[in-house]
Structure 1
Amino acid sequence: MLFIYSSLSVGGIETFFVRMAKERARLGLKTSILLLSEPKQSNHELLSEAKLYASVYFAKDIFVFQPTLSSRLSIIAPLNKNKLKVIMEGVDQIHGFDAMQLLFGERLARLMDKKIPITVGFYHYIKYLWGGNKVALHERINRKFIFDYLPEQSLLFFSPGSRDLYAKTRNKSFKRSNTFSLGVVDKKDVHLSSDISKPLKLVAIGRLVEFKTYNFYMIQVIKNLVNKGYNIEFDIYGNGPLYDELKEKILKFEVSNSIKLKGTLDYSKFDEVVSNSDMFIGDGTAIVQAAALGIPSIVGVQNFVEPKTYGYFCDVYMHQYTRKGLDLPLFSVEKMIADYIDMPTKLRLDLKTKHVNCIEQFTNESCQQSLDSLKSIEMPTRNFKYNRFIYLLSRTADRFNMKYNKKHPRRTQFEDFRALNEK
């Protein structure tokens, strides 16, 4: 199996690829990871772990000329044919998230004269929704490749809710697509205690990006709780484009004694940090990892402006819990934290147990089995045809447009979701 991606920074997609490589190695299955970047762009610890379980290749290994430029022109850039044969040896499935990277994967398979199944993971529900029909030519080609060329079985939505959303917007049923859950955790025994720390320790872990709005509303939540006499500390782990803005808001609200920006958390220290916390708030794969440790985890619904949530992960894990607009009741995040602090010890222990018991479907073993079964998908006999030069010209022009046009649909991609009713 070959994963194609940009780099291994510490994020949900990247750590998922490494977990799958680890599980496959346990079963004696070969995994390759092709990163279209330089090694220094990856997190050193995560990259080192990936190399324990997979053959890891970089842009410099496969392109003939300047790797950075060639990565941007991957669908036409000259390739090292000898290295290509090494990378593609034994590959029975190509998997990725980004359409251009998968178009590159299709090129690799074609050059090897093989019909290797190509699968795409919908790791973020808005990836191929933003902009509607008002997208540039290259993005229309991306979506044509994903939705019209790839077999439906190649589309991995990871939840029925995500599939239903795309079925509605694309006017297709996607009934043959896959909706198995992401592999996030290994089965483990955890010791549960009804005790809480003083001060209560709340933690969030993830990239500081636009759609993770809970990092911002939590500043007001913590301020309110402290003003009401609750002793609480909130640690935010992660980095990203909104780091400075978040730091400025923490200072403005005068809560720097209670809220700490901790920067990027080493992947290997996740369990240690979260296990020593009392509560977690977040989304994606991080909240599954936290739940597996028995930590009561509040769902951080993406793009919510108000401090509201669908509740605890253990109560909504069967839904697409990070997506705004679900037909589920909403709860005050502030009240949930206060209620947990005041909760009787037995109920607190029951809540932790519910979190541990709900993660069976998120095991790496189960996910790997489902993912590996996709190697039998039959690809179309015809090649996917498009003008690669016009594609790259459109992509380049659109990047300039996005840089200077504040109303570019990619820059406003979350606004429609934020406009949804939060009552």
Structure 2
Amino acid sequence: MLIIHNSLGMGGIETFIARLVKQRFYSGLKTNVLLIANKKLNNNNILDEVNKYAGIYYINDLASGFLLPYLNLSAFYKKKELELLLLDSKSIHVTFGNALMVAEKICTVSGITLPISVGFYHSMEFCWGKDRKLPYYECINRNVLFECIPVQNLFLFSSSIIDFYKEYASISLDGAATFRIGTVSIHKDYEKTIRKYDGFCRDRPFKICSVGRLVDFKKYNLWMIDVVNELRVKGVSIQYHVYGDGPLYDEMHEKIKALNLDDSVFQVRSLEYAKFDEIVGDFDLFVGSGTAIIQAASLGVCSIVGVESLDEPLSYGYFNEVAKLDYNLKSVNLPLIDVKALILKFIMMNEQEKQNLVSSHLSSCHEFSMELCSSNFENADLRLVQLRKRTALEYVFYDFSRLFSAIARRFYKGHPLNSLYDRV
């Protein structure tokens, strides 16, 4: 299988790719990963991990042209290199719109037709911009996705995505492959990992952490600072450690300074992927979303769901209570609970109550089995895709449309595209 992705930075999709290629390797399956963004965007730890179990290629290895990798479709693709890339692949998996277009060009230039699967890793990935005029490149992305790709080649990681697209975008995804994203390896002694809370927080601060990219829709990274401040005023000895980098980093830093929380809130720009379990497993509570919260829960760390794009310190509760839903979306029809109250109640629980909650968290992770997910990828009923060869002019228009949108987003923070990925 060939996986086409943007870059291997530190994030949920990237760590998933690392787990997937590892699982496939131990199942005797070969995987290649094609990265189409600037090499500087890769995280060395993730890159090294993936490289142990898969071949890594860059768009610059396969093509030559002006402003690569930014103008990646109008470039000249080398047919022989493409044939070698696809030599042992039975299918191509892509993670976002531009990757789908790169897959289309690889197939048309090489003359090798393979089934293409598309993962819906973000609920808004292919429906942002409702009631707006979409840029040219995105119109092409969606035309290929919804008109050319067979619906059974679409991988949805929650059944509620079908209802969401039907209600929000009037798009039918009935018949799509639906299964949970793999995050943890379930072994026979898995549920024996019960944390002990003897002497819990009697002689040390209560420690909370979050891990992930500090992107705008992860508002919980900001309001958790307020929660820590309010709990500290109430006399709670507490620490909040945030592992990650991104657009919110500086705003969080200023807020920490303004509230004089330098001794209570700590920012760490990166977390070595291989040390996630060791570091996160040392905390009392986790707040977050995506695959990071699943991995934290699998360690027996009780985890509060960080609802994305929600400005107030509210949550649906603990991960184990909502694991079967799209727990990070604010459109979920569940009551919201004050996070400060949740934390205070957790601190006041007795030892048995905490162990019961840990056990429930561990049980809720079963459906996120990496073994099952890898099997779903390999055994999916994929259909061949009928793609057409585009003109050089079409590729130029596509590339420059993407480039202009990227420039606009970078230099104008209020640009509509900067908020269109907010979860609904």
Residue aligning to 1:143: 142
Report how many residues are paired: 414
Partner of 2:195: 192
1:259-314 CA-partner distances (Å, limit 9, x unpaired): 11122100011000111111000000000000101110000000111100001000
CA distance in 1, matches of 2:306, 2:152: 30
1:158 alignment counterpart: 157
The residue that corresponds to 1:35 in the other structure is: 35
Alpha-carbon distance in 1 for matches of 2:94, 2:289: 21
In structure 2, the residue corresponding to 1:107 is in which secondary structure?
A: helix
Q: Is the 8 A contact 1:303 1:414 kept in 2?
A: no
Bigger mean CA deviation after superposition, 381-390 or 336-345 = 381-390
Which residue number corresponds to residue 376 of structure 2?
370
Per-residue CA distance 1:63-122 (angstroms, 9 max, x = gap): 2346xx222222221123322222111111211222112111111122232321111111
SS in 1 for 2:346: helix
| Residues 304-327 of structure 1: CA deviation (Å, up to 9, x unaligned) | 111000010000000000001211
CA distance in 2, matches of 1:155, 1:348: 39
Check conservation: 1:151, 1:380, Cα contact below 8 A.
yes
1:274 is aligned to: 280
Say which of 395, 402, 415 aligns to 2:402. 395
- Contact 1:38 1:59 (C-alpha < 8 Å) held by counterparts: no
CA deviations 1:193-228 (Å, max 9, x no partner) are 133342111110011110000011111111111111
How far has the Cα of 1:38 moved from its partner? Answer: 4.9
**Alpha carbon RMSD of aligned pairs, Å?**
1.9
Counterparts in 2 of 1:318-357, with a 5 A limit? 318-357=324-363
Amino acid in the other structure paired with 1:156 = F
Q: 1:241 aligns with which of 237, 247, 264?
A: 247
> 1:364/1:232 Cα in 2 relative to 1: closer, same or farther (>3 Å)?
same
- Which amino acid in the other structure matches residue 391 of structure 1? Y
Contact 2:227 2:340 in 1 (8 A): yes
1:130 and 1:409 in contact (8 A); partners too: no
Structure 1 residue 414: Cα displacement: 5.4
Distance, in Å, in 1 between the alignment partners of 2:236 and 2:412 is 45
- C-alpha separation between the residues in 2 aligned to 1:408 and 1:135? 13
Structure 1: 5+ residue runs without aligned partners? 418-423
Matched with 1:113 is 111
Q: Residue type of the partner of 1:193?
A: K
Q: Which amino acid aligns with 1:127?
A: E
Q: Could you tell me which amino acid in structure 2 is paired with residue 22 of structure 1?
A: K
Bigger Cα displacement from structure 2, 313-322 vs 126-135: 126-135
**Overall identity of the aligned pairs, in %:** 35
Query: Contact conserved, 1:38 with 1:60, CA < 8 A, in 2?
Result: no
Q: Distance in 2 between matches of 1:402 and 1:41?
A: 18
TM-score (norm 1): 0.93
Q: Which moved more, 1:335-344 or 1:110-119?
A: 110-119
Deviates more, 1:50-59 or 1:109-118: 109-118
Residue correspondence of structure 1 range 20-419 to structure 2 within 5 A: 20-65=20-65, 69-132=67-130, 133-188=132-187, 189=190, 190-195=193-198, 196-197=200-201, 198-374=204-380, 376-383=381-388, 387-403=394-410, 408-413=415-420, 417=424
Equivalence for 1:9: 9
CA spacing shift, 1:384–1:217, aligned 2, 3 Å: farther
1:156 aligned counterpart, secondary structure: strand
Contact 1:299–1:322, Cα closer than 8 Å, also in 2: yes
For 2:22 and 2:417, locate their aligned partners in 1 and report how far apart those are by CA, in whole Å. Answer: 34
Whole-angstrom CA distance in 1 between matches of 2:422 and 2:99: 27
SS at match of 2:8: coil
Alignment gaps of 5+ in structure 2: none
Residue type at the aligned position of 1:323 = L
